[in-house]
Each structure stands twice: as structure tokens, then as C-alpha cells.
């Protein structure tokens, strides 16, 4: 502060008033230089200052008055910002237009001390300038100590490159200035929670110094002790600051350099040290990465060849065969090519080899995906509920995934204070919608299969079909995630090795066995897969609930009621024991952090607390099967039930507004909510499906049965698998922190949803649909 202000003032005043400041005598041409001597500008002779010679006695009273007048004029200039502003602008224009640079050497500590002597004891800022001069005088010693510390703690190459940077900074080389400019700076918005001082990632990587290039690193810097009570964030105030270092320096060496520099900052009793440093390193494809590329190439080749066979050979041959057999009358009239229907082509017998050759055909599989026709007995409203539910999942994850990249963390607390935000805060209910749908479909299809097979069922196919339905696409997405994701992006937030790389390489076997939610769940590969593990576990035990229902309605209902009661009691007891909150987001951060881990791993992910909606779905599917989709409800009663269900759903969804805003419930009330709300939500979802299927849905059924939802509903599984990759990629490749607003999140959600639909389409055509077609070919399913 002193350096910028007073050095400029002195330069300005020396330019404007040389006689007054430098002691120029208009009559004898003498000036005072920075060595404290008087120089005669006419003869070039030098003499000692008047204070050190007998000439001091020769100063007349008039000269003293004149000097006092000049000194007063100097003080007036110091106190007049308008004059300073005008003169600074003029000098700045002159410097810029003439490329003038002032030598740094004139700002030495010794010269500053001389300036203080010239100012005299009357200056009110002399003490501050003296302190600054003392600190400046100590800088050479600090730099020397820094150099010694660097040479002892880092490699010779890293040390040499850093010395080059310091040297070239003095020479004002652009690349050296660019390297410093790319580093993070203290930004605005600290009190809003701006802990991400990223700097410029791309500017750092663009540094090419000849012997080395720039490498971007991110350092963690705890500031809680220094800032004290200025900030009040849970877990303290630890910033992430970007730095640009030579690529010859490792992350550990960069940490050493940073800490040595931080030691130079005078903070009194406080200390400032970085706790960790992570650097972006160019990745070489390892064996797993090469395997991932190979898998992608294999599937792409299969899709191309299969599509060419389908379009070039099979479709043409099928149409020719239909035309040759399409004599419609004795008049020998033939259908023209445009009149050949798709149904006629499908009616031709196709051999196994031909069907295998078309398994990966984008043309055929794409038509199946986009087909909006549904067979008789289809539960059409389920398509709309599927897509809306998966959109809700994407919305919740888009919001929650952004917290690590936000520069205004206080927005979260402001956002959740609004009751409308409960749709996002309580988005966890979207998963319970899927559990209810899954139970309903399993029950409905099981009952139809049992009826067709007269009470018998192929249990091997019962389980194999489910495993084959979920696993191939699931495993392939995980494999591509851990093998290729680390190579697809970069940035200050990009996770080295990918978000799931290391865990998936170690624990993928738990996913394929569907036990990852109960066996060491804290080290879970692909965290979203806890839902798939629960769904498979529910499916495995579902015959215990389905078989009694088929053979005896009373016994079946009793068994399901007891199972639901057990799930409810277990959920309530666990919630009470661990003192859980009814939400994963609350303004009472202390209470939230104290139970967060228990909520996730003891309550949220375990099947004995999540099966409630699934059981409700099983009973609803059985009811739809029993009524054959025909159950007319009087209009008044139907409207009353819709109203009651809507109120109950709103209570479940918005009722947690109090705890979210910090007004915690009693432990008993919270336990009751945690025990019941998921099953109650499943009941509301099942009512919507039952009402729509039985003709009591009205306009709701018209909307949910909209044909656009048919292909979107088919994509819901792959959207679930891929949407988190889209979200992670977006946030991890950002270059600057996100400033959260409602509008910003709206665009993020819509963008992520559309991109998730596109990636899910690719995954469906490449993985899911071909694998289902292979199952039908191998086991000859769907040929009847």
C-alpha cells in the first residue's frame, strides 16, 4: 500500500516541483541527490548536505521561510487527490506513449530511508514508511532463505526451472508473467462461500518456456484460523487455489515451494500452510483404458456391420419376397413397393443366423425404440411415470452435484428456505416411485405367466431374465466409466482417475453380485448402483410374496401386510436409534453432519428399510390382474380419492419444510415419518397407475399415456445409468466455479436431461436392446 501510494507521489512531485523537492536553487543551480549530497548542475561539483557543514549558519531567515512555504505546498499536494489524479493520468499517458519504464533499483531500502529524511519528522506517515522500508530491506534475506530451502527440498531440475521463472520475471518475459497471471487470486464473495480460487487452467497449460511447460495444480489452503469468526462455514474455511508450476515439479515439490512462500507472509502467531496439492498430469492409456477403447470399437463395428446387413440385404430381400407372393386377385394385380407393409415383412420366417446378424442393427433396434404402438393389456400410464420419475432423479442429482464447484455456497441455504425447493430437497422420493413401479410390474407379469402356465413357472428363466435384463448394460457402462472417463476431459475440477475409477477396479465384483449396498457400502463402485442392488434383492425374495397371493388371496394379503409391517418397524427403530433427520439437507448443519453417514448407510441404502413401496406395488399389480383392468369407481368417490391422495402426496413431499429450515422435529415424529413416508408415497403412485389402468384417470391418464412417453419410458433405465456421467463430466470440466441461481440450475437441468437422453439412446441401441434380442434368440423367447 505504501509502496504504490508514496512512490507515485514522490515521482509526481519530483516531476512537477523539482525545485521544491530536490532542492534546486534557481540562482546557483544546485540540487540534492538521493545520496544526500548537493550537486552543482553548472560546475558539476558536489558538497555535503547543509546539515553536515558549517554552511547551515549561512541560511537566511528568508530562505528558511521559503523552504517552509515549499514544504507546505508539498503537503497540500499530498492531501489533494484531484491534483494527484490529474498528474498521474498525464504521467501515465506519457509512460504509455513513450514506453517509459522506471528502474527498480531506485526503490532500494537505502534510498527509501533517504526519502524519509527528506520528509522530515513532521510527516505523519513516517512511521508506516519506516516499517515498510524495514520489511523491504529484509526481502533479500527472505529470498536468499527461500533459495536455500528450495535447493534442499526439491529436485535440481525443479529448482533450476523456478530460478529461471524468477529471473525472467525481472526481465518481463511474457511467458513468465503469464505463468503468474494464471495462478488463483483472492476473489470477491468470500463471505458467500467462494472457496474456489481456480485461476486460469488453460492459460497455465499454454505456457511454453522452452525448457519446460506450465503445469496446473490445485492446493488446499485452510484459512479458518486466520479469518476467525469472519466466516462461519461448517468444516471450516478451506480454499482451493490454482497455481501454475513448471512441469518438472511434482505435486510434493509444488507443495514444498508453496509452503516456503507462505512462510514469508508475516501473520504473527498464525501460520499458513497448504495441506495438499494435486496436479493435472497427462495420462497415458493403461491396459484398462486400451481395453475400454477396444470394447467401444468392437461394439461400434458390430453396429455398423449389423446395420449394413439389415438395410442392404435383409430389408431388400424381404420386400422382394413379399412382392413375389402378393398376387391379390385372379386379375394378376400386384402391390407396388410402397405398399409393402412392415407387418408383411415381419411375417416372413427369419432364420437364427439372420436374426443374430441383425442383433446390433441400429435400423431395426431404432424402429423398435421409436415405435409408439403398444399391445393390448399394456399399462400405458407407466411410461409417463417412468420418464417423469427419471427426470426428477436427474434434477436432484444436477442440484446436489454442483455444491463442490459453487462460488456462492450461501445460495443453498437461501434456496432451501423457500418451500418450493422441497421438490428438489425431497427428490429422494423419485427412487421410491421406481420401487413401486418395479413391484407392480413384477406382480402383474408374474400373475399372467402363472395363469398361462397353469400355476407353474420356470424359475431359472424367472431369475435369469431379470439378471440379463439389468446386468449387461449395467456392467458395460461401469467398465467404460472406469476405463475411458479419465481420458475424456480436463480442468481444475477434473477428478484424476475418474470419479469411480479406483473403487470400480477393486470392487466391481460386488456390483455384479448385487451386494454392493450391504457389503462395505462406503467403498462402493458407481454409487448410484445401490438402487439396482436393492431392486435385484427385492426381486430375489419376491416369490415369497407373489406365490401366496396367486394361490390364496387372503393368505397372500396377510403375508404382504406382515412384510410391510416389518419394514415399517425396522425403519422406525433404525431412525430412532441413530437420531436421524427426515432429510439429507437442512439449515441445521451441525445436526445434519452428525447423522449423515448413518442416514445413508444404515437407513437409505439397506433393503430392510426400502422395500415398503415395492410391497405396495406387488399388491397393486395383483389387484390390477384380478380386476383385469376393469373397475369402475363412482365419479364422486373417484374425485374424493384423487383429492385425498393428492393431499397425502403433498404432505409427504412438502411436510419436511420445517426440519429443512432448521426447525427440527421431535425424534419420535421424525422416526414415524421415516418409517411411513416411503410406503405412503408408493401408495400414491400406485393409485395413479390403478386409476389410469381401470379408466378412472381422466386427463391424468391422457397425459401419462401420451405416445411421446413410450420411447422415453424405454430409455429410462439407460438414462439412470448414464445421466450421472453426463452431470459429472459437465461440472468437472468447468474452468471457473459456478455461481448458483435458480435460472442457472434450470438451464443445467434441462441441458443434462437432453444430453442424458442422447447418451441413453446410444447405450440402449448398443447394449440393452441387442442383449435382450440375444436372449430371445438363444432361449427362443417371444416366438409364440
DSSP of 173-225, one letter per residue?
-HHHHHHHHTS----S-GGGT--EE---HHHHHT-B-SS-BEEEEEEEEE-HH
Cell 437441468 sits on residue: 749
What are the cell numbers at 27? 540562482
* Cβ atoms within 10 Å of 664's Cβ, excluding its own: 19
H or E element, residue 592: helix 589-598
Beta bridge partners of 40: 30
Set of cell numbers at residue 167: 529471473
Rounded Cα distance, 589 and 662, in Å:
8
Q: What is the pLDDT of residue 9?
A: 42
Query: Which pLDDT does position 496 carry in this prediction?
Result: 76
Ranges of the chain whose pLDDT falls below 70: 1-152, 228-235, 268, 316-350, 497-499, 780-784
Sign of the torsion angle spanned by Cα atoms 247, 249, 254, 257: negative
Distance of CA 318 to the CA centre of its chain: 50
pLDDT value of residue 417? 84
What is residue 49's three-state secondary structure? Answer: coil
**Which segments of 401-541 does DSSP mark as H helices, in order?**
410-416, 422-425, 429-452, 459-484, 501-512, 530-541
pLDDT, position 520: 92
3 state DSSP class of 23: coil
pTM of the model as a whole: 0.78
**61-79 vs 81-98: helix axis angle to the nearest 10?**
80
Record the cell numbers describing residue 784, joined without a space. Answer: 409364440
What confidence tens digit (pLDDT) does each residue in 115-167 have? 445 444 444 444 544 454 444 445 445 555 555 556 667 888 888 888 888 88
- Is 689 exposed, middle or buried (CB count within 10 Å of its CB: 0-12, 13-18, 19+)? buried
Say what the pLDDT of residue 420 is. Answer: 83
Amino acid at each position: 500500500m505504501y509502496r504504490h501510494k508514496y512512490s507515485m507521489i514522490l515521482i509526481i512531485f519530483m516531476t512537477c516541483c523539482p525545485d521544491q523537492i530536490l532542492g534546486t536553487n534557481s540562482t546557483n543551480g544546485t540540487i540534492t541527490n538521493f545520496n544526500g549530497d548537493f550537486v552543482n548542475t553548472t560546475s558539476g561539483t558536489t558538497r555535503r548536505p547543509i546539515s553536515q557543514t558549517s554552511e547551515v549558519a549561512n541560511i537566511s531567515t528568508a530562505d528558511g521561510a521559503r523552504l517552509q512555504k515549499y514544504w507546505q505546498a508539498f503537503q497540500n499536494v499530498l492531501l489533494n487527490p484531484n491534483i494527484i489524479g490529474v498528474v498521474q493520468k498525464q504521467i501515465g499517458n506519457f509512460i504509455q506513449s513513450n514506453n517509459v519504464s522506471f528502474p527498480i533499483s531506485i526503490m532500494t531500502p537505502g534510498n527509501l530511508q533517504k526519502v524519509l529524511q527528506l520528509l522530515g519528522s513532521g510527516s505523519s506517515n513516517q512511521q508506516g514508511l519506516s516499517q515498510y522500508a524495514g520489511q523491504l530491506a529484509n526481502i533479500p534475506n527472505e529470498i536468499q532463505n527461500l533459495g536455500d530451502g528450495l535447493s534442499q527440498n526439491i529436485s535440481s531440475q525443479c529448482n533450476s526451472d523456478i530460478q529461471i521463472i524468477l529471473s525472467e520475471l525481472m526481465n518481463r518475459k511474457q511467458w513468465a508473467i503469464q505463468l503468474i497471471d494464471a495462478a488463483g487470486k483472492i476473489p470477491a464473495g468470500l463471505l458467500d462461500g467462494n472457496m474456489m480460487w481456480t485461476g486460469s487452467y488453460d492459460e497455465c497449460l499454454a505456457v511454453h518456456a522452452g525448457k519446460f511447460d506450465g503445469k496446473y495444480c490445485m492446493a488446499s489452503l485452510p484459512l479458518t484460523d486466520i479469518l476467525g469468526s469472519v466466516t462461519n462455514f461448517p468444516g471450516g474455511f478451506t480454499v482451493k487455489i490454482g497455481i501454475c508450476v513448471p512441469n518438472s515439479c511434482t505435486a510434493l515439490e509444488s507443495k514444498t515451494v508453496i509452503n516456503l512462500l507462505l512462510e514469508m507472509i508475516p501473520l504473527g502467531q498464525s501460520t499458513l500452510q497448504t495441506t495438499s496439492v494435486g496436479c493435472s498430469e497427462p495420462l497415458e492409456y493403461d491396459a484398462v483404458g486400451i481395453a475400454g477403447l477396444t470394447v467401444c470399437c468392437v461394439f461400434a463395428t458390430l453396429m455398423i456391420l449389423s446395420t449394413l446387413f439389415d438395410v442392404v440385404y435383409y430389408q431388400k430381400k424381404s420386400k422382394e419376397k413379399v412382392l413375389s407372393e402378393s398376387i391379390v386377385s385372379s386379375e394378376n394385380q400386384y402391390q407396388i413397393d410402397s405398399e409393402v407393409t412392415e407387418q408383411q415383412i415381419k411375417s416372413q420366417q427369419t432364420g437364427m443366423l439372420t436374426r443374430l446378424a441383425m442383433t446390433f442393427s441400429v435400423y431395426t433396434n431404432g424402429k423398435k425404440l421409436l415405435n409408439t404402438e403398444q399391445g393390448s393389456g399394456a399399462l400405458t400410464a407407466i411410461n409417463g411415470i417412468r420418464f417423469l420419475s427419471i427426470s426428477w432423479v436427474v434434477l436432484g442429482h444436477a442440484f446436489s452435484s454442483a455444491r463442490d464447484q459453487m462460488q456462492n455456497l450461501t445460495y443453498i441455504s437461501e434456496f432451501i428456505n423457500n418451500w418450493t425447493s422441497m421438490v428438489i430437497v425431497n427428490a429422494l422420493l423419485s427412487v421410491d416411485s421406481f420401487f413401486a413401479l418395479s413391484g407392480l410390474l413384477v406382480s402383474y407379469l408374474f400373475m399372467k405367466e402363472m395363469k398361462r402356465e397353469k400355476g407353474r413357472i420356470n424359475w431359472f428363466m424367472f431369475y435369469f431374465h431379470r439378471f440379463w435384463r439389468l446386468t449387461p448394460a449395467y456392467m458395460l457402462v461401469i467398465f467404460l466409466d472406469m476405463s475411458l472417463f479419465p481420458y475424456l476431459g480436463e480442468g481444475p475440477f477434473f477428478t484424476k482417475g475418474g470419479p469411480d475409477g479406483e473403487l470400480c477396479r477393486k470392487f466391481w465384483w460386488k456390483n455384479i453380485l448385487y451386494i454392493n449396498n450391504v457389503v462395505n457400502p462406503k467403498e462402493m463402485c458407481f454409487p448410484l448402483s445401490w438402487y439396482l442392488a436393492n431392486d435385484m434383492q427385492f426381486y430375489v425374495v419376491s416369490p415369497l410374496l407373489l406365490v401366496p397371493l396367486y394361490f390364496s388371496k387372503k393368505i397372500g394379503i396377510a403375508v404382504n401386510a406382515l412384510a410391510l409391517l416389518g419394514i415399517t418397524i425396522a425403519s422406525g427403530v433404525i431412525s430412532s436409534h441413530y437420531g436421524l433427520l427426515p432429510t439429507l439437507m437442512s439449515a441445521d448443519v451441525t445436526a445434519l453432519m452428525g447423522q449423515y453417514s448413518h442416514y445413508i448407510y444404515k437407513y437409505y441404502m439397506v433393503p430392510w428399510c426400502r422395500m415398503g413401496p415395492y410391497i405396495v406395488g406387488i399388491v397393486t399389480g395383483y389387484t390390477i390382474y384380478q380386476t383385469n383392468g376393469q373397475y369402475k369407481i363412482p365419479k364422486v368417490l373417484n374425485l374424493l380419492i384423487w383429492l385425498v391422495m393428492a393431499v397425502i402426496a403433498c404432505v409427504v413431499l412438502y411436510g419436511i419444510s420445517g426440519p429443512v429450515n432448521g426447525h427440527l422435529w421431535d425424534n419420535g415424529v421424525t422416526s414415524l415419518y421415516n418409517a411411513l413416508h416411503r410406503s405412503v408415497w408408493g401408495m400414491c403412485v400406485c393409485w395413479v397407475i390403478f386409476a389410469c389402468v381401470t379408466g378412472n384417470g381422466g386427463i391424468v391418464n391422457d397425459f401419462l399415456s401420451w405416445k411421446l412417453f413410450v420411447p422415453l419410458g424405454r430409455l429410462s433405465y439407460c438414462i439412470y445409468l448414464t445421466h450421472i456421467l453426463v452431470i459429472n463430466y459437465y461440472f468437472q470440466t468447468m474452468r471457473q466455479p459456478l455461481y448458483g441461481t435458480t435460472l442457472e440450475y434450470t438451464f443445467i437441468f434441462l441441458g443434462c436431461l437432453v444430453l442424458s437422453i442422447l447418451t441413453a439412446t446410444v447405450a440402449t441401441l448398443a447394449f440393452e436392446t441387442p442383449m435382450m434380442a440375444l436372449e430371445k434368440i438363444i432361449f427362443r423367447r417371444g416366438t409364440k
